[in-house]
Amino acid sequence: ARAKSFIMEPEEYYEKFGLYIPDVIFPTAAVEKEGILHIYYGCTDTAISLATVPTEELIDFVMEQR
């Protein structure tokens, strides 16, 4: 399934203002461990960050958006 809206979007300062491309984040890897999805993502081509979400919560969100 695919959500109709974004599951992630730039919110923090370091995600909105960068050296090269402002106001952008891009997921690069995801690891699921013990019911938590760890999403590693790049920020404005200047940093790497980690977001976490309970896997079941993300699945529910996507399924509701269909």
The dihedral sign for the CA sequence 57, 49, 1, 65: positive
pTM exceeds 0.75: yes
Question: How far apart (Å, rounded) are the C-alpha atoms in residues 37 and 19?
Answer: 28
Quickly state the pLDDT bin for 19 (edges 50, 70, 90): confident
Contact 53, 36 (CB under 8 A): yes
- Spatial CB neighbours of 65, under 8 Å, sequence gap ≥ 6: 1, 2, 3, 4, 5
User: What is the average per-residue pLDDT within 7-32?
Assistant: 92
In the chain, what percentage of residues exceed pLDDT 90?
71
CA 30 to chain centre: 9
